[in-house]
Chains A and B, each alone.
Chain A
């Protein structure tokens, strides 16, 4: 019966982790949530196989040990990446508008002004034609 308790606890912790991962914007909180989910996973891996034939099984424990090593190194690496990102952009969240396409487009609109000025000065005909800018700006 204790194993049922463990499984229920693992499920509850896992659910908390999923909630945290989806709801929080801060990368630190997301990493904490992922670590919660990993803890629940390891608990489950240890408990569930042991319930089958009563005695502890060494294989899942070896697996969990490996899993913990991977989880620790991944978390350390993710934290280092987060610190680097924080240093660059001043906050540790992944904003949807920071993605590459939008950065590219902002860059483009700056170029547009430059090029249009150039076009007006040298070749006014070009503006009346269908220009590549309009193709480029169709993107979402």
Chain B
């Protein structure tokens, strides 16, 4: 038993256990299970970070059964970054969710149970060390996410949840088909031994397609805008920050750590898909009539950057993509939380209602602006550091096309961010809204603002994260 085994177990079993307890407890006491489940596993990350910094990768094999029949877990620097995003966003989303689904109300039991099961699924997917357990964890995550979207109970939310479920099942089907072919060919399901598993291209493409559906990469993104924009705000925050990212991290792992020598043609093709996602997402975000749709399409655009790692494939690109994942997760979650408050007060998130918002809800307007700075990638922010590392990686491998793309993408992000900000702050027709609903408690606004601030502050002090990522490059060249 190694010193960190219990910590790794706590990451999954605290949210899982409290999820089961939360439905069984009487409503009056449910809050304790929610608090323990929501905050408990996040505290474990502090000693785990020290362990990852010391040993780089932590492994755990259950019950002495060796893989493939046994189950193994593994945590590396990249996984730790995703877990930190998950923890921070989960804590920041808690007040908003608490406000909307008060734990002491009897009917909110299922919501909190699902909330904790989603956390379990995400943590499990990060820890999974073989291809099949990754599938199980991704299914758990998807089912919990679909159910959470459907808690809104309107036609739009139910239809969005249904569409997401059908596409996600199709995606996981593709993925398992690929996994089956890998096993048939090699007799192994291990994820982290590059070269040991020699993937054939059919299996690789099937697995990548399945994961791209789950991560909502551009041509397979159709479920994302409706799912994110119809979900309750805190759920949308968690989903945009981690649920899609988990599938993308899985894609990186399949690519860099499982596939022996993926063909260059395929890596360039995936890079081009990422480029198309960046352009399409930004254009669509610019045209949306609803604030939450703008934020959702912006996610599609920003997910595209994470695919650029495949053609760039060097240490700097890995650090850049990991950092971008962190910064974008924090910024996007803060935007969804702020948008949820705006919907609560205005009763709508149509951007026609935004003019004059900076006077009525200054904290939310400031949060949107601050998170927008990170999305565009303006210098002091975390988004800048991520894009700058990607840019210098493109310089290093002499990928001029990728360089131009990354620079232009800043402009395109600026277009949709400034459209929202200009309408909010500078539009001449600052109409009076006749019917304002009661403001949500200030702590929900502050939580969103804190996330947006954090996304900027990590840009000022990027070195701990970059050093951590730099130490654990997964087979990504020099």
Using CB atoms and an 8 Å cutoff, list the residues of chain A in contact with chain B: 21, 27, 30-31, 34, 37-38, 41, 44-45, 48-49, 51-52, 57-60, 62-63, 66-67, 70, 73-74, 77-78, 81-82, 84-85, 88-89, 94-95, 98-101, 103-105, 107-108, 111, 115, 118, 126, 129-133, 135-140
Contacts and interface: CB of A to CB of B under 8 A. Distances in A.
B69 A62 contact: yes
Contact of B150 (A34, A62, A84): A84
Contacts of B154: 88
A111 B431 CA distance: 13
B86 interface: no
A66 B136 contact: yes
B351 interface: yes
B170 interface: yes
A contact patch SS: helix
Interface in B145-179: 146-147, 150, 153-156, 158-163, 165-166, 169-170, 173, 176-177, 179
A136 B289 contact: yes
Nearest to A122: B432
A108 B350 contact: yes
A41 B173 contact: yes
Given A52-B184, A66-B136, A132-B351, A27 B155 contact: no
Looking at B158, B225, B287, the one whose CB has the most chain A CB atoms below 10 A away is B158
Interface of B: 68-69, 132, 136, 139, 143, 146-147, 150, 153-156, 158-163, 165-166, 169-170, 173, 176-177, 179-181, 183-184, 187, 189, 225-226, 229-230, 284, 287-290, 293, 348-352, 354-355, 419, 423, 427-429, 431, 434
Nearest to B181: A48
B184 A49 contact: yes
Closest 8 CB pairs of A and B: A139-B289, A48-B184, A45-B180, A136-B352, A132-B352, A85-B158, A136-B289, A49-B184
B84 to A, nearest CB: 29
A111 B189 CA distance: 56
Given A37-B173, A81-B165, A139-B287, A99 B226 contact: yes
B98 to A, nearest CB: 25
Nearest to B154: A88
A100 B158 contact: no
Given A129-B429, A139-B288, A104 B180 contact: no
B181 A111 contact: no
A34 B352 contact: no
Given A27-B162, A81-B162, A140-B287, A73 B350 contact: no
